[in-house]
Amino acid sequence: MTLFSSGDKIAVDEFTYAKLIATAQLNNLHLVAIKNDQGGMNIEALKHACQNNNLAGLYIMPEYSNPTGAVLSVARRKEIATIAQEYGLKIIEDDYLSFLSKLNPERPPKIMELLPDQTCYVCSMSKVLASGLRVGYLVFPAQLAQQIKNGFFNTTVKTSTLNTAIASMAIKEHVVQQIIQNKVTLAKQANILFEQYFPTAPTNQLTDYAFFRRLPLKNVQNTAKVEQALANINIRCFGSDRFQINASSNDHFLRVSLSANKSLDELETGLKKLRKFLQKSNLI
């Protein structure tokens, strides 16, 4: 966490990327959960947190946030950028599904474009090409260049030259576009299947192409127990508890992956089994 110091407070969505939570704990960074609404991070809640906490930064996924699937509107992005500028927050914009932005009818700007002097923009090739291809990209303000370079040096973070060469060639030879198109086609088919079994699940402008879906639960206080019960019947889903900073929210859900199966037939078998379990347990 090159941008921040031990003890710093960083604003995040009330349900946020699980590995960020683990990284923050390792580096003694304090995550401040910001309440969400239908449009993502709630503006009034963010203002309140800025006024009542000495926040150093903000971590956000504007394009299909993991795990909620929220997509920030153009207006919401502008509001967040305005607040960050007012309170001097350093922003980490995690655009892990950057290629989906072209499918968003609003064609929203990156927060980096709205507030370039305070935003570090991160994306990678792992979702675009292959999960094992650990090549990332970072765009940052010029004034942070030395600080970020020092951070890379001190943590001995290095990218495989072979992975870099593979990614570069895939881009130059237009292989990336072919893979993206195939993934989008498969994702659309997977989401059609998902909605056949869970027609009331939340939707937005990108759920047709999503790699995972949010499935709200009822009559549950501990999603870890639901996770374990599903694991016992060979279904792996992630419950909302693992993405939470604190246990203050009553919003319980499963994050259901649609891209981890070998085939659509295997996915359908899993979805059918999942629905049967949740209905029998009176959880949906």
Which two tokens mark 122? 């991160």
pLDDT at residue 37 in the model: 92
pLDDT score, position 156: 60
Tens digits of per-residue pLDDT, 86-105? 999 999 999 998 888 888 88
Q: Is the dihedral of CA 259, 238, 202, 197 positive or negative?
A: positive
Nearest one of 253, 270, 252, 273 to 261, comparing CA atoms: 270
- Averaged in consecutive runs of 10 residues, what is the pLDDT profile of the chain (284 residues)? 89 96 94 94 97 97 95 97 98 91 87 97 86 86 90 74 89 89 94 98 94 96 95 96 84 95 95 98 96
* CATH top class, domain 176-280: alpha beta
d(CA 1, CA 115): 20
d(CA 188, CA 194): 10
Q: Where are the domains of the chain?
A: 9-160, 176-280
Tens digits of residue pLDDT in 240-272? 999 998 766 788 999 999 999 999 999 999 999
pLDDT given at position 185: 95
Cα 25 from chain centroid (whole Å): 18
The rounded distance, in Å, linking the Cα atoms of 86 and 72 is 20
In the chain, which residue ranges form alpha helices assigned H by DSSP?
18-26, 43-52, 74-87, 111-114, 145-154, 161-172, 175-197, 223-231, 264-280
Determine whether domain 9-160 maps to CATH 3.20.20.70: no
